Amino acid sequence: MPLGQEPPQLLKQHLLYQGRKFNFEVNALRLPNKAEGQWECIRHPGGALAVPVTSQGELVLVRQYRFALQGRLLEFPAGTVEPDETPATTIQREIEEETGYRAQTWKSLGSFPLAPGYSDELIYAFLATDLEKIDLPPAGDDDEDIEVVLMSPERLEKAILAGEAVDAKSIASFFLAKPFLG
């Protein structure tokens, strides 16, 4: 916080919805200039994402249906951090479930807020290398419709620049991983 700026004062907090993946609350705040207002916030436990790279240098992505956008998006495998998991544990599980690959080597690419204007969700990004195909087909969750897509880094970058790949967490993570891609 910049010097001389006080944080807003929380006057009242009201939980409007408690869901399986996130909570939605409305907060009454008093700003340092004494103005008061209401701010909505989605409270989310965070997510983990992998940028998986095969030994041939191909990226492993998933194309899945996203109801909110009513379309299939090209994304890196990701999942919500469960209460008993670390982000690293989450993404190790998710990559196997969603893609049928297991990574032997992991590198943290950092974390970043996904939509700080209305949510506290952080995405923890990892580079996953030394992949091995596991015998089981990708399982995914019951509510997931996933297609595994292999793509060169150059092709993905073109898809991003052409507006064909629009998932913000995947775009940010791709550019965080890019210095490590052959």
Tens of pLDDT along 123-147?
999 999 999 999 765 555 566 678 9
Whether residues 21 and 77 share a domain: the answer is no
Q: pLDDT-derived band of residue 94, with 50, 70 and 90 as boundaries?
A: very high
Phi, psi dihedral angles at 63 (to 5 degrees): -115, 120
Whether residues 16 and 72 share a domain: the answer is no
Whether residues 71 and 39 share a domain: the answer is no
Whole-number Å distance between alpha carbons of 173 and 56: 20
DSSP string covering 158-181: HHHHTTS---HHHHHHHHHHGGG-
For residue 170, give both structure tokens: 């995947």
Domain that holds residue 39: 9-43
Whether residues 36 and 55 share a domain: the answer is no
pLDDT for 182: 78
Whether residues 139 and 76 share a domain: the answer is yes
* pLDDT, tens only, 31-65: 999 999 999 999 999 999 999 999 999 999 999 99
Whether residues 58 and 28 share a domain: the answer is no
Mean pLDDT of the chain, nearest integer: 92
Phi, psi dihedral angles at 159 (to 5 degrees): -65, -40
pLDDT for 139: 54
Q: Minimal CA–CA distance to 78: which of 115, 104, 55, 52?
A: 52
Contact 91, 97 (CB under 8 A): no
